[in-house]
Structure 1
């Protein structure tokens, strides 16, 4: 039997949902990874952002975009609703910070300039930044102490530490972007907000004009941005989001085609199958048979 892709409303391996929008949790990498023999199977976190601060050790991130190797010291960033898994070298150490994605939205709304123009998993090497990495681990240690205590003003201090940590991380990541890439900032912001709306709406039948209205631009403008940056129409960007999820379910789960369609919020499984075939050249059933993985 194939393994079902786990979509957690909380932490990996736990079935209870977290309390949103104020969820903050920090733990050592080695705590949970040791329990799972240093392999975290591919999964998705609903409405949660994760930052891994790897101190020592190395490994591989699995994602729908392929494998990403990492070696400490480094940072691993996993936005909400992104498929990811990890294989660690035994005895890898560091921190895992998990917070409500709504906190990221709130922070980047207040400071738009630090907003990351990506919804993909990232591995950021810090081997050439030992002093800055030490500063980050100091913040994480303080954050760990604060979340474990019940001192007066705890919530305020936690929010302040999170804001300082994430602002510094996002600023650093943006500094790695080439100048010619940064000049596309306005169009990238439009694309990022469009992709964010696709994830939050989870409505495969939502009209492109509605997405454009949310940003007070025209559908023509939104299409132009998508073609400039992704060489795709806006509608194709929407289709790609749902088809990527569909492929993951078809390959890694035993859900029927109809169940996959309903999980992706298609009200008509037949329409989902027709769209899948039109976009991929094969039916969902044929795609699954051609991409069977080991039991």
Structure 2
């Protein structure tokens, strides 16, 4: 695929959406049919700047293309789609299964605990006799995601950790599995995302991240725009905004306390920042949840 073609591939948060991540969660789970039926069962090639996806096909037919590698699925399978990978899918109308989208910061955190990065490489695994176990895992994730209850976030992270362990063990067991080596630009962007997760509360300037990566600020901005469809500053602001939303929804902190926890010099500045990103004030956002 030529550079010109790559640059023309749209970057979505979720397929067909250009708005910011729709919930304070670092997780999104839906059935394959829920979104693909809206697009005539064809998901055209696109990328996600900071999302990793795991697609579970339990029944039906699917054609899964990730970075030019096409897998035609007619039995239960699991497809891993790393962040920034160009991918497109086609499904039969009787398809059953789920697609799990995970924000890169959550993947990084869980992978660190696992001391492995099982979702960093595109791969398609036939489930065979393990279909029942994987199906039960995805159904539990989907149910927990759709029905907020006490300990929801902890339970979701536990279930997703179990999924990561399954993928890690399966990838280890597959002989001759061809890893797709990311290009240098993607490596820089993935490292930027990792650094951002560590430093976003400190409001570090773009030059700080560029220096840590050993590249210029202009180069970092160009990479972010080319591969994630946004500037480095927009990605920094979105991470702050996501954490602000999560704090407003899932904690009892006051707006002033949220502002302080996120490193803002004063609550008024935080409120202006939040309203620019969400269109409403932090207080109004909390009241509508």
TM-score (norm 2): 0.59
8 Å Cα contact 1:21/1:102 also seen in 2? no
1:98 counterpart = 2:89: no
Structure 2 gaps, min length 5: 194-210, 232-289
What is the deviation of 1:211? 5.3
Q: Which residue of 1 aligns with 2:19?
A: 16
| Counterpart residue number, 1:146 | 144
Partner residue in 1 for 2:123? 122
What is the correspondence of 1:34-113 to structure 2 with a 5 Å cutoff?
A: 34-112=37-115
Looking at structure 2, the residues matched to 41 and 174 of structure 1 have their Cα atoms a distance apart, in angstroms, of 31
Q: Answer yes or no: is the 8 Å Cα contact 2:66–2:81 preserved in 1.
A: no
Given that residues 21 and 100 in structure 1 are in contact (C-alpha distance below 8 angstroms), is that contact kept between their aligned partners in structure 2? no
Q: 1:171 to 1:193 in 2, by over 3 A?
A: farther
Q: Relative to structure 1, is the Cα distance of residues 115 and 177 closer, same or farther in structure 2, using a 3 angstrom cutoff?
A: farther
- The counterpart of 1:162, out of the listed 150, 153, 160, is 160
Residue number in structure 1 paired with 2:29:
26
Q: Runs in 1 of length 4+ with deviation above 3 angstroms?
A: 19-22, 190-202, 209-212
CA gap of 1:152–1:13, structure 2 versus 1, over 3 A, is same
The equivalent of 2:188 in structure 1 is 197
SS in 2 for 1:6: coil
The gaps in structure 1 that reach 5 residues or longer are 183-187, 203-208, 213-237, 246-258, 266-295
Question: What secondary structure does 1:13 align onto?
Answer: coil
Measure, in 1, the Cα distance between the counterparts of 2:184 and 2:56: 27
Tell me how many residue pairs correspond in the alignment. Answer: 208
**Distance in 1 (alpha carbons) for counterparts of 2:76 and 2:131:** 7
Specify whether residues 152 and 199 from structure 1 end up closer, same or farther in structure 2 by C-alpha distance, changes over 3 A only.
closer
Distance 1:32 1:146 in 2: 19
